[in-house]
């Protein structure tokens, strides 16, 4: 099943991160790197980490709303993945497998942390102030756009943290990270219908929490 145009739009990477991202490797090169890493080549694994570090970090960060936690969990996920590489048979793509490890680790962490939510948000990239979609959300209300956006960021993160982990994950992977329903189903190990229903419910919840900003 294909994604809607808005889904496709969501797949566009973060504008701020695009410049620092290493050149993507093709599937064959990645397979070669994985095979070398399976044989214990840390240089090859370093390259794999560079390829996926931003997306893995971002997924964990958006799930936890805490930079320090995301840093620890992302590193642990990569370490865990390296030690589990021998069990990777290539049945799924490497990044789906990696995502699954990171997501499992994050959900376990969030369950242990329970309701003790402490946000440690990253700063907004200065380009956010020039994004017409975001400007439209705040410019009517305040003369200081950056402060308004920061306030909006806090409200949005607080609303996200009110969602259950599976619902939050569906929103993060689809609406923030830009993964397709099919890819999310593989990462979450459920069927596409479940992904769609979780996404729909999560958006409904978020819309209710953020209703005053969405008028």
Partner 1 sequence: MNQEQENFEALQRLLKLKRYEQPPPGYFGDFSTQVVRRIKLGGPEDKEGILEYLFIEAPWLQRLFGAFQAKPAVAWSFGLAACALVVSSIVYSETVEYSPVSVLPTSSEAARANAVVAVPMTLAESSAESLESLAALSASTNPVIQPIGGSLFDQYSLHPQPVSGFAPLGR
For partner 1, the binding residues (CB under 8 A) are 4, 6, 9-10, 13-17, 20, 42, 45-46, 49-50, 53-54, 57, 61-62, 67, 71, 74-76, 78-80, 82-84, 87, 100-101, 104-105, 108, 111, 121-125, 127-128, 131, 133-134, 136-137, 149, 152-153, 156, 171-172, 175-176, 189, 200, 203, 206-207, 210, 213-214
* Neighbouring residues of 150: CB distance < 8 A, sequence distance ≥ 6: 124
> What count of Cα atoms within 13 Å lies in the side-chain half-sphere of residue 94?
25
CB of 115 to partner 1, least distance (A): 15
Measured CA to CA in angstroms, residue 40 lies from 82, 86, 100 at distances of: 9, 10, 21
- Residue 179 CB coordination number (10 Å): 26
- Dihedral sign of CA atoms 67, 149, 63, 88 in order: negative
CB of 23 to partner 1, least distance (A): 14
**Distance between CA atoms of 209 and 215, rounded to whole angstroms?**
12
Q: Of the two residues 31 and 159, which places its CB atom closer to partner 1 in the complex?
A: 159
Phi, psi values for residue 110, rounded to 5°:
-65, -35
Q: Of the two residues 45 and 94, which places its CB atom closer to partner 1 in the complex?
A: 45
CB of 207 to partner 1, least distance (A): 5
Q: Of the two residues 32 and 154, which places its CB atom closer to partner 1 in the complex?
A: 154
CB of 17 to partner 1, least distance (A): 7
Q: Of the two residues 22 and 32, which places its CB atom closer to partner 1 in the complex?
A: 22
CB of 26 to partner 1, least distance (A): 20
Q: Of the two residues 35 and 154, which places its CB atom closer to partner 1 in the complex?
A: 154
Query: With 0-12 CB in 10 A as exposed, 13-18 as middle and 19+ as buried, what is 150?
Result: middle
């Amino acid at each position: 099943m294909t994604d809607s145009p808005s889904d496709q739009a969501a797949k566009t990477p973060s504008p701020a991160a695009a410049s620092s991202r290493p050149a993507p490797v093709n599937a064959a090169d990645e397979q070669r790197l994985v095979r070398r890493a399976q044989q214990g080549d840390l240089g090859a694994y370093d390259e794999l980490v560079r390829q996926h570090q931003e997306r893995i970090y971002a997924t964990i960060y958006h799930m936890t709303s805490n930079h320090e936690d995301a840093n620890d969990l992302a590193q642990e996920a990569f370490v865990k993945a390296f030690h589990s590489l021998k069990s990777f048979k290539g049945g799924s793509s490497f990044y789906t497998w990696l995502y699954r490890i990171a997501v499992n680790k994050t959900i376990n962490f969030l369950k242990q942390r329970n309701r003790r939510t402490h946000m440690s948000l990253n700063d907004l990239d200065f380009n956010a102030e020039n994004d017409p979609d975001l400007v439209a959300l705040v410019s009517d209300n305040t003369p200081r756009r950056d402060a308004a956006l920061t306030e909006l960021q806090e409200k949005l993160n607080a609303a996200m943290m009110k969602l259950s982990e599976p619902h939050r994950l569906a929103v993060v992977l689809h609406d923030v990270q830009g993964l397709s329903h099919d890819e999310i189903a593989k990462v979450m190990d459920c069927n596409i219908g479940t992904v769609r229903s979780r996404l729909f419910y999560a958006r409904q919840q978020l819309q209710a929490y953020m209703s005053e900003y969405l008028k």
